[in-house]
Amino acid sequence: MSRPPSRIDSVIHAVRSRISSRLDGPGSRLPSVRAQATAMGVSVSTVVEAYERLAAEGVIAARAGSGFYVAGPAAPLALAEMEPRLDRAVDPLWISRQSLETPPGHLKPGCGWMPSDWLYHDGLRRGLRRMARADSAQLVDYAGPLGLPALRQTLQRRAATLGIDASMEQLLLAESGTHAVDLICRFLLKPGDCVLVDDPSYFNYHAMLKAHQVQAIGIPYTHTGPDLQVFASALQEHAPRLYITNAGLHNPTGAVLSATTAHRLLGLAEHSELIIIEDDIFADFELRPAPRLAALDGLSRVIHVGSFSKTISAASRCGYIAARPDWIEALTDLKLATSFGGGHLAAHLMQIALTDSGYRRHMQAVRTRLADARKHTLRQVQKLGITPWLQPDAGLFLWCQLPDGRDASAVARQCLREGVVVAPGNAFSQSQRAADYVRFNVSQCQDPKIWQVLGKALQQHS
Amino acid sequence: MSRPPSRIDSVIHAVRSRISSRLDGPGSRLPSVRAQATAMGVSVSTVVEAYERLAAEGVIAARAGSGFYVAGPAAPLALAEMEPRLDRAVDPLWISRQSLETPPGHLKPGCGWMPSDWLYHDGLRRGLRRMARADSAQLVDYAGPLGLPALRQTLQRRAATLGIDASMEQLLLAESGTHAVDLICRFLLKPGDCVLVDDPSYFNYHAMLKAHQVQAIGIPYTHTGPDLQVFASALQEHAPRLYITNAGLHNPTGAVLSATTAHRLLGLAEHSELIIIEDDIFADFELRPAPRLAALDGLSRVIHVGSFSKTISAASRCGYIAARPDWIEALTDLKLATSFGGGHLAAHLMQIALTDSGYRRHMQAVRTRLADARKHTLRQVQKLGITPWLQPDAGLFLWCQLPDGRDASAVARQCLREGVVVAPGNAFSQSQRAADYVRFNVSQCQDPKIWQVLGKALQQHS
């Protein structure tokens, strides 16, 4: 297994990379044997052998007389193949991969999380040391079906400060915030259902809804929440089962639901039997809490979810769901059936971190640091003629319009070539109406190289 | 929130418990207000108020002139409601909950894992101390799409010792072994598909397949693997998409696939385009490795999965998938869409534990301890006239037949009342043909009380 890679391996690797980077989708024709051999400076027989091995694995297939093609989708749920291909730069999965696989040294103003030294590593270290001395059972046993009671109690208190009254039986731990939303989607949706999302909204919702084979409808987001007129028409026209949104700070815009919009929105939902998932992952970034739909609604049709990946750690993941008791009951069954007991250790670490006296100070410092970074980023983008859609007073994001209708995907591709990961607007937009927008994460915008590379890309695509 | 529970709360709690313990399913009529008041020694108005609050929450519903009923299923995927109710004692979700929620002091010869002091808590403690000194990035950052490279390398070496040749691009980390199997099912199956399972087999497969709305067909398991004649007919008759089985030690029987059966089974699969998931969760319990289907097949149609919940820790969960590269590619997309980055910290801890020189010694000690516990358990069951179906030389389980066709569900219910959790055979049997079988976990069979309670229950149900 440790033999040095042969020439055949190099060809195999090259073909695989093109497929995995989505440069070659299913059905695309591979370069001819001769062309590949010339391009890679290897013999024809090397390429023949490489293609044959890939064909034996089913990665590519030969068609008599016409060469080799990338094999078709292996299964109904090959996400990448489920709908006409988006521009690669706005494919949500491609963006996730770019952010998660960034080579060292790349800058990522487009990614969705803070640099690692901004997170609560000190608290986590303390937690790890404490857990190293804990009872064996805490280190090795499965959690109960609902998850660690002490953490659920902490979450109950935190919810209460937002006006959300949840009993202990209404709180279920999940593996992560994403897992929480996915579990609820599995519980509520069937293929072909219709789901409302904000437009723009967190791009991974789009990928997840695609996995559930449901139709997502984007509702334009305003400075005070979704556009209620469009929302009401969508209820009429599509009879959606679910609406997924952020609680508090909205991703990617940084806007916040106003009390009036919240009340009217909930009224519309009640009238149409619409269920709402409110994803509260940015709660601890707020300077003052915005209204929560779950609070107004009393956890009747609103399901409240959250996690600590953005504030404490994304390496020790733990999410939660607050909902009506009978739904929690069914969600617990579904969690057991599909992931059995949860990660108890991660729950212990989150419980220690959240109740650590340092956590409040940590988040205070983060909020101050973000305020400075936001000012800095605003100055830089404005110098380049980029206009913020809103100047939020909290959170990670600035949602910005490029000058003169520049194509953000083209700009993002150009920046990536120079080692800067930019998040183009249409990755967030169900309707693909944000072609000249980008999302900046102000905590990842410190390096001056970002503005040089971006400035150059803007010039090239003017 | 810390007020003492009122009488109204007690009534609410009593109703909720009956619903959550499945004593009252959807549509069941609640006791009348008067009957409930008398039964609980509270006033009629207390019960009225409690019922009204539960009705406001949607947990129960009033029907004019006929009282209160448990509300119907909230959603298509309320697992508990998806098919005719099984006897509660063999409902897989009920068994999972019993094992996970066992009150302190209960004994659980029926559960699927070892006591906490048998697991690798020492290794985990060392890992936690080491991680407390790690780089911040390791403590707080998301993992890359495939998961921690160092752990995937370790898994690659471990796979090689079983004859499974997997490249690094063929190894994907998941949140747990269960998550791994679930992810593959999401990738491969659509509602209505047909899936083969061993009969008997791990009960949570049944719950999971129910969640996928597919039809499970049980294939009788023999001392050397599935009954190939029945297997071949099932391929003809049902054209199943998938077969899920254990690699190595089979749960619940402790039997092991013979080389001959493995080869013939794979031949049948190749002929019918059947895909196979081989769940290798008990690998480190084997005294000598049984043949792996993934090794024979070269990871073409066989997907190999595993985790360390049974050997190292179930609190810090981490599973993996080895499969052909294009499937790993699609599974990675699906993992990102539905759970985003994985639990990096858990992966680090597993990597530390697996490469710790103490791990080999730990598992040696566990295997010796299990051999003693197996002898002890065999003596005890035989004293009660219980017959082992097989006397395995490794693993946790003994699959045993009760004397004279005793009903294992009735025996299990009786034992539970006396604080002993027994696993009745039909929980493992798709065909419900194991009514007089039980599964013993020899590591949980030390306490003499188990045999007293079980002996008494056998007498009562003779």
- pLDDT score of B367 more than 70: yes
Q: Distance between CA A231 and CA A220 in Å, rounded?
A: 8
- pLDDT score of B138 more than 70: yes
> Residue A315: which residues within 8 A CB-CB, separation 6 or more?
B138, B139, B140, B141, B142, B143, B343, B344, B345, B348
Give pLDDT tens digits for B277-333: 999 999 999 999 999 999 999 999 999 999 999 999 999 989 999 999 999 999 999
Which has more confidence, B434 or B65? B434
- Mean predicted confidence (pLDDT) in A23-27: 63
Model confidence at A21, pLDDT cuts 50, 70, 90, reads low
Cβ contact, residue pair A179, B339, below 8 Å: yes
Which residue on chain A is closest to B177 by alpha carbon? A339
pLDDT at position A81 is 45
Nearest residue, CB atoms, B210 vs list A132, A337, A348: A337
Using alpha carbons, select from A46, A56, A59 the residue that is nearest to residue A15: A59
Nearest residue, CB atoms, A340 vs list B120, B142, B178: B178
Model confidence at A84, pLDDT cuts 50, 70, 90, reads very low
A122's tokens: 């000190």
Q: Is the peptide bond before A149 cis (omega within 30 degrees of 0)?
A: no
> Residue A393: which residues within 8 A CB-CB, separation 6 or more?
A287, A371
Beta strands in A280-363 (DSSP E): 302-307, 319-322
Cβ contact, residue pair A121, B140, below 8 Å: yes
Which residue on chain A is closest to B117 by alpha carbon? A136
Give pLDDT tens digits for A89-120: 667 777 778 778 878 888 999 999 999 999 99
pLDDT at position B346 is 94
pLDDT more than 90, % of chain B: 71
Give the position of tokens 């103003």: A109
Contact present, A245 and A278 (Cβ < 8 Å) = yes
pLDDT at position B4 is 53
Q: Partners of B243 in the beta sheet?
A: B196, B276
Contact present, B276 and B303 (Cβ < 8 Å) = yes
B192's tokens: 């209505």
Cβ-Cβ contacts under 8 Å, A309 against chain B? 142, 341
Give pLDDT tens digits for B220-268: 999 999 999 999 999 999 999 999 999 999 999 999 999 999 999 999 9
- pLDDT score of B50 more than 70: yes
pLDDT at position B165 is 96
Neighbouring CB atoms inside 10 A of B150's CB total: 14
> Residue A431: which residues within 8 A CB-CB, separation 6 or more?
A199, A218
Cβ-Cβ contacts under 8 Å, B97 against chain A? 145, 336
Cβ-Cβ contacts under 8 Å, A71 against chain B? 326
Model confidence at A23, pLDDT cuts 50, 70, 90, reads low
Name the minimum distance, in Å, from the CA of B384 to any CA of chain A: 31
pLDDT at position B88 is 60
Q: Which helix (H) or strand (E) holds B246?
A: strand B242-246
The length of chain B, given as a count of residues = 462
- Mean predicted confidence (pLDDT) in B353-363: 95
Nearest residue, CB atoms, B207 vs list A117, A182, A337: A337
Name the minimum distance, in Å, from the CA of B81 to any CA of chain A: 9
Cβ-Cβ contacts under 8 Å, B113 against chain A? 142
- pLDDT score of B110 more than 90: yes
Model confidence at A133, pLDDT cuts 50, 70, 90, reads very high
Pairing of strands A67-70, A60-63: antiparallel
> Residue A125: which residues within 8 A CB-CB, separation 6 or more?
B132, B133, B139
Query: What are the φ and ψ backbone dihedral angles of A43, each rounded to 5 degrees?
Result: -80, 160
pLDDT more than 70, % of chain A: 92
Would you tell me the crossing angle of helices B92-100 and B203-211 to the nearest 10 degrees? Answer: 120
Report helix, strand or coil for A125.
Answer: helix
- Mean predicted confidence (pLDDT) in B365-381: 98
Question: What is the interface pTM, i.e. ipTM, of the complex?
Answer: 0.81
Report helix, strand or coil for B318.
Answer: coil
Report helix, strand or coil for B111.
Answer: coil
Using alpha carbons, select from A433, A434, A429, A445 the residue that is nearest to residue A202: A429
Cβ contact, residue pair B337, A79, below 8 Å: yes
Give pLDDT tens digits for A183-193: 999 999 988 99
Cβ contact, residue pair B175, A175, below 8 Å: yes
**CA dihedral in degrees (B72, B78, B82, B86; nearest 10)?**
-90
pLDDT more than 70, % of chain B: 92
Which sign, positive or negative, has the C-alpha torsion B229, B230, B234, B236? positive
Nearest residue, CB atoms, B326 vs list A71, A120, A165: A71
Cβ contact, residue pair B314, A142, below 8 Å: yes
Mean per-residue pLDDT over chain B, rounded:
89
Q: Distance between CA B91 and CA B82 in Å, rounded?
A: 12
Mutation choice for B interface testing from A339, A344, A349, A352 by most B CBs within 10 A: A339
pLDDT at position B95 is 74
Neighbouring CB atoms inside 10 A of A188's CB total: 23
pLDDT at position A36 is 84
Q: Partners of A167 in the beta sheet?
A: none
A399's tokens: 């949602």
Pairing of strands A387-388, B67-70: unpaired
Model confidence at B375, pLDDT cuts 50, 70, 90, reads very high
Which sign, positive or negative, has the C-alpha torsion B13, B15, B16, B22? positive
Which residue on chain A is closest to B193 by alpha carbon? A76
What are the structural domains, with CATH classification, of chain B?
A: 7-76 (1.10.10.10), 88-112+366-460 (3.90.1150.10), 121-355 (3.40.640.10)
Cβ contact, residue pair A330, B74, below 8 Å: yes
| Identity at B211, one-letter amino acid code | A
- pLDDT score of B65 more than 80: no
Cβ-Cβ contacts under 8 Å, A179 against chain B? 175, 338-339
Q: Distance between CA A305 and CA A294 in Å, rounded?
A: 10
pLDDT at position A87 is 57
* Residue A345 to residues A143, A154, B168, Cα–Cα distance (Å): 9, 16, 27
- Mean predicted confidence (pLDDT) in A193-199: 97
Q: What's B426's DSSP letter?
A: G
- pLDDT score of B94 more than 70: yes
Nearest residue, CB atoms, A339 vs list B74, B182, B346: B182
- pLDDT score of B28 more than 80: no
pLDDT at position A229 is 97
pLDDT at position B69 is 79
pLDDT at position B411 is 95
- Give the burial class of A279: count Cβ atoms within 10 A of its Cβ; 0-12 exposed, 13-18 middle, 19 or more buried: buried
> Residue B229: which residues within 8 A CB-CB, separation 6 or more?
none
Using alpha carbons, select from B457, B444, B452 the residue that is nearest to residue B383: B452
Q: What is the CA radius of gyration of chain A?
A: 24
| Identity at B166, one-letter amino acid code | A
CB pairs under 8 A between A and B: 300
pLDDT at position B20 is 62
- pLDDT score of B61 more than 90: no
The length of chain A, given as a count of residues = 462
Nearest residue, CB atoms, B314 vs list A141, A176, A327: A141
Mutation choice for B interface testing from A114, A140, A335 by most B CBs within 10 A: A140
Q: What is the CA radius of gyration of chain B?
A: 24
Contact present, A348 and B128 (Cβ < 8 Å) = no
| Identity at A117, one-letter amino acid code | D
Q: Distance between CA A401 and CA A386 in Å, rounded?
A: 6
Phi/psi region, residue A256 (left: phi>0; alpha: psi -120 to 50; beta: rest), is beta
Cβ contact, residue pair A346, B342, below 8 Å: no
Nearest residue, CB atoms, A74 vs list B100, B330, B341: B330
Model confidence at A421, pLDDT cuts 50, 70, 90, reads very high
Name the minimum distance, in Å, from the CA of A138 to any CA of chain B: 7
Which residue on chain A is closest to B121 by alpha carbon? A136
Nearest residue, CB atoms, A100 vs list B71, B96, B142: B142
- pLDDT score of A286 more than 50: yes
Using alpha carbons, select from B89, B303, B294, B75 the residue that is nearest to residue B188: B303
Cβ contact, residue pair A182, B339, below 8 Å: yes
- Give the burial class of B59: count Cβ atoms within 10 A of its Cβ; 0-12 exposed, 13-18 middle, 19 or more buried: buried
Spell B247-284 as b/e; 16+ CB within 10 A means b. bbbbbbbbbbbbeebbeebbebbeebebbbbbbbbbbb
Query: What are the φ and ψ backbone dihedral angles of B173, each rounded to 5 degrees?
Result: -85, 145
Using alpha carbons, select from A447, A458, A456, A295 the residue that is nearest to residue A373: A447
Cβ contact, residue pair B100, A145, below 8 Å: yes
Name the minimum distance, in Å, from the CA of A274 to any CA of chain B: 13
Give pLDDT tens digits for B180-222: 999 999 999 988 999 999 999 998 999 999 999 999 999 999 9
Q: Distance between CA A410 and CA A127 in Å, rounded?
A: 44
- pLDDT score of B34 more than 50: yes
Report helix, strand or coil for B244.
Answer: strand
Pairing of strands B242-246, B397-401: unpaired
Using alpha carbons, select from A454, A389, A442 the residue that is nearest to residue A220: A389
Query: What are the φ and ψ backbone dihedral angles of A308, each rounded to 5 degrees?
Result: -125, 20
Query: What are the φ and ψ backbone dihedral angles of A246, each rounded to 5 degrees?
Result: -95, 145
Give pLDDT tens digits for A357-405: 899 999 999 999 999 999 999 999 999 999 999 999 999 999 999 999 9
Which residue on chain A is closest to B209 by alpha carbon? A337
Beta strands in A239-371 (DSSP E): 242-246, 275-279, 302-307, 319-322
